[in-house]
Copies of this chain bind each other. A is one copy, B any other.
Amino acid sequence: MSGVEWVVDARGCDPAALADLGRLQRLFARLFDDLHLHPVRDTVWHQFAGAGGITGMCLLAESHLTCHTFPEYGSLCLNLFCCRPRPDWPFVTFLKHEFAAAEVEVRQLERAYDHEPARSQLSQLRSAGTVSVV
Copies of this chain in the oligomer:
2
Task: Assess whether A46 is in contact with B55, with CB atoms less than 8 Å apart.
Answer: no
Complex interface: chain B residues within 8 A of A113 (CB): 11, 70, 73-75, 77
Q: How far is the CA of A107 from the CA of B110 in the complex (A)?
A: 11
A115 — nearest CB in chain B belongs to which residue? B12
Q: How many residues of chain A are within 8 Å of chain B by beta carbon?
A: 41
A102 within 8 A of B: yes
Shortest Cβ gap from A1 to chain B (Å):
6
CA distance in complex: A112, B11 (Å): 8
Quick check: is A96 within 8 A (CB to CB) of the other chain? no
CB pair A59 B59 closer than 8 Å: no
Whether A34 sits at the interface, judged by CB under 8 Å, is: no
